[in-house]
């Protein structure tokens, strides 16, 4: 059946980087590393101190070009109490949008990670004197850059790494600015949780492991509770479509609900996130090719995104009711596995002809999307590494967005631009629904080669008619593929957290 873990006490995990508001004058500040932003303008006066003379000389001599993301590290003598000066190029102010900020600040975060320092100071006036205030993004990128995967390594590889690690950031600014940076760090922690879950191998990060992690997350926050349904409970509820995906595996499915009750008005309707949690996807009987199959451990990045978002909004103590739902299963071929041509009944009562067992994401999601009707949600967004077709269509820059609600779609597109976590809308219109017609069931689970991302969303749309809904296909954005770059990205946590708190 199901079980619920009651909340016992509030335990808050502090950021590994501590923030301190600094009241000293810039020239008198004692720090191992002072960071100043330098825009590419005709008149360069980022600090309005004698330091500006040095900065101008470096620019005029060609030793430093303030293009976006450029850096220069100087060891200082007696002119300042700071031991090092880091100049960060911010480019042209008119071009310093969210994507440019991500590039500049992520580069800064990586630089700080590589320096042998325990503390640094951020001169916020120079880092935020552009057209828009990017301080939350600054904190996010610095925290994002500190992430390192070590969970399954026998020992940490310290070759070429400094013995000292950044532990404290002094903030030269206001208390409000400090809070903006700190909220960015909290968001970075959420994205890094998403990355860690995505990067774990599938023999560790199973549906049961995700459920355990969700329970532990709920134990940390008084406003967050967790409920987990095992396979017996899922059969009793009628979630046969979700179970059809897991039936070929030795690993049992889990259905996880994280319920955050933060609104002052307890009757406030929740926003709901639904994450696809296929912890490994072989394709089942419709088995995938072997090339790149190791990356199918990332097929649970929708679920990992929900976890990262729920941690973030709990840490921020957001004034809202938010529910995160995870449908977790492992898709394997065996003598018990679902076969092409099988017909299963969904929680909604609709029947599905499974023409391709590798189109399993929509099967685990459709039951979850039906289940969340009972929450009477303000809006629902599902997040899934759903289709290779979306990756082919949009590449790895934009997440795919499909929605039956124009206002919700427009809102997500706008927030995506603002957060540097963009999405691009694809069509979901009535003519595409015909591609899912079946002779033997109410609906087929694939619609052929044409418009694969759209027909997948059309399938989901049939289970979302009772609320506002959008679908994010993150097949191209949830992880970086191949070689040393391979690893989870943490997207679309920034987009979704911003949507949740607005």
Write the pLDDT tens digit of every residue in 380-435: 999 999 999 999 999 999 999 999 999 999 999 999 999 999 999 999 999 999 99
Q: Is 161 a catalytic residue?
A: no
Distance CA 467, CA 465 (A): 6
| pLDDT tens for each residue of 114-165 | 999 999 999 999 998 665 678 999 999 999 999 999 999 987 666 656 667 8
Model pLDDT, residue 13: 41
Model pLDDT, residue 4: 33
- For residues 500 and 48, which has the higher predicted lDDT (pLDDT)? 500
Indicate if the alpha-carbon torsion angle 453, 454, 455, 461 is positive or negative: positive
Overall average pLDDT of the 97-124 stretch: 94
- For residues 281 and 125, which has the higher predicted lDDT (pLDDT)? 281
What rounded mean pLDDT belongs to the chain?
A: 92
Confidence check: pLDDT of 355 > 80: yes
Model pLDDT, residue 10: 30
Q: Is 362 a catalytic residue?
A: yes
Overall average pLDDT of the 12-21 stretch: 67
Model pLDDT, residue 159: 63
Indicate if the alpha-carbon torsion angle 303, 305, 306, 307 is positive or negative: positive
Overall average pLDDT of the 449-458 stretch: 96
State pTM to two decimals.
0.94
Distance CA 84, CA 497 (A): 35
Confidence check: pLDDT of 296 > 80: yes
Overall average pLDDT of the 284-306 stretch: 96
Model pLDDT, residue 130: 61
| Cβ-contact 148, 112 below 8 angstroms | no
Model pLDDT, residue 50: 84
Confidence check: pLDDT of 310 > 50: yes
Question: Per the residue annotation, which of 208, 288, 378, 417 is the catalytic one?
Answer: 288
| Cβ-contact 420, 102 below 8 angstroms | yes
Distance CA 409, CA 403 (A): 6
Instruction: Count CA atoms within 13 Å of residue 105 on its CB side.
Output: 28
* Two structure tokens written together for 5: 């873990």
DSSP 8-state secondary structure symbol assigned to residue 24? S
Q: Give phi and psi for 360, each to the nearest 5.
A: -90, -20
How would DSSP label each residue in 39-90?
E--SS--SSSSTHHHHHHHHHHTTS----TT-EEEEE--SS-S-SEEEEEEE
H, E, C per residue of 173-190: CCHHHHHHHHHHHHHHHH
Q: Give phi and psi for 277, each to the nearest 5.
A: -125, 55
Model pLDDT, residue 71: 97
Model pLDDT, residue 131: 56
Model pLDDT, residue 485: 86
Model pLDDT, residue 158: 60
Confidence check: pLDDT of 3 > 50: no
Say what percent of the chain tops pLDDT 90.
83
Residues near 264 by beta carbon (within 8 Å), at least 6 away in sequence: 319
Which domains, ranges and CATH numbers included, belong to the chain? 18-150+159-189 (3.40.220.10), 200-501 (3.40.630.10)
Model pLDDT, residue 247: 97
Distance CA 51, CA 70 (A): 18
Nearest to 182 by CA among 13, 405, 385, 18: 18
Confidence check: pLDDT of 16 > 70: no
Distance CA 459, CA 447 (A): 9
Distance CA 173, CA 20 (A): 10
* Two structure tokens written together for 498: 């911003």
Question: Per the residue annotation, which of 223, 362, 462, 491 is the catalytic one?
Answer: 362
Distance CA 11, CA 388 (A): 40
Give per-residue burial for 233-272: e unless 16+ CB within 10 Å, then b. bbeebbbbbbbbbbbbbebbbbbbbbbbebbeeeeeebbb
Model pLDDT, residue 2: 34
Model pLDDT, residue 8: 27
Nearest to 446 by CA among 347, 363, 326: 363
The secondary structure element, H or E, covering residue 394 is: helix 388-394
């Amino acid at each position: 059946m199901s079980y619920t873990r009651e909340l016992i006490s509030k335990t808050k995990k502090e950021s590994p980087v501590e923030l301190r508001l600094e009241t000293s004058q810039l020239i008198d500040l004692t720090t191992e590393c002072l960071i100043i932003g330098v825009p590419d303008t005709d008149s360069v006066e980022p600090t309005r101190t004698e330091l500006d003379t040095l900065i101008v000389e470096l620019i005029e001599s060609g030793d430093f070009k303030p293009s976006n993301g450029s850096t220069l590290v100087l060891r200082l003598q007696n002119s300042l109490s700071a031991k090092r000066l880091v100049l960060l190029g911010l480019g042209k102010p008119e071009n310093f949008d969210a994507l440019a900020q991500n590039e500049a600040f992520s580069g800064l975060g990586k630089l700080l990670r590589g320096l042998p320092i325990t503390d640094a100071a951020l001169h916020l006036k120079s880092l935020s004197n552009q057209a828009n205030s990017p301080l939350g993004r600054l904190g996010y990128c610095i925290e994002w850059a500190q992430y390192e995967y070590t969970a399954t390594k026998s020992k940490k590889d310290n070759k070429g790494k400094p013995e000292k690690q950044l532990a404290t950031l002094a903030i030269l600014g206001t208390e409000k600015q400090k809070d903006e940076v700190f909220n960015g760090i909290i968001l970075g922690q959420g994205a890094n949780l998403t990355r860690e879950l995505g990067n774990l191998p599938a023999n560790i990060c199973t549906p049961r492991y995700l459920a355990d992690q969700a329970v532990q997350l709920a134990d940390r926050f008084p406003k967050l509770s967790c409920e987990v349904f095992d396979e017996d409970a899922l059969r009793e509820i009628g979630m046969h479509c979700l179970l059809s995906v897991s039936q070929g595996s030795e690993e049992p499915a889990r259905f996880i609900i994280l319920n955050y009750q933060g609104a002052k008005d307890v009757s406030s309707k929740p926003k709901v996130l639904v994450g696809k949690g296929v912890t490994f996807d072989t394709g089942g009987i419709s088995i995938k090719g072997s090339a790149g199959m190791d990356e199918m451990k990332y097929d649970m990045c929708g679920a990992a995104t929900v976890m990262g978002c729920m941690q973030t909004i709990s840490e921020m103590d957001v004034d809202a009711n938010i529910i995160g739902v995870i449908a977790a299963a492992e898709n394997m071929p065996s003598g018990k596995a679902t076969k092409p041509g099988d017909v299963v009944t969904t929680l909604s009562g609709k029947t599905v002809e499974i023409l391709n067992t590798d189109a399993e994401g929509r099967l685990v999601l459709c039951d979850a999307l039906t289940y969340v009707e009972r929450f009477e949600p303000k809006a629902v967004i599902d997040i899934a590494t759903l289709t290779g077709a979306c990756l082919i269509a949009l590449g790895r820059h934009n997440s795919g967005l499909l929605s039956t609600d124009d206002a919700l779609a427009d809102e997500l597109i706008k927030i995506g631009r603002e957060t540097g976590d963009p999405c691009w809308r694809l069509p979901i219109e009535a003519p595409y629904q015909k591609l899912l017609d079946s002779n033997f069931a109410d609906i087929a689970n694939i619609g052929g080669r044409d418009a694969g991302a759209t027909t997948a969303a059309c399938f989901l749309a049939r289970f979302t008619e009772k609320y506002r809904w959008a679908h994010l296909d993150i097949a191209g954005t949830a992880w970086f593929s191949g070689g040393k770059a391979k690893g989870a990205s943490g997207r679309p946590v920034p987009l979704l957290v911003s949507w949740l708190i607005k």
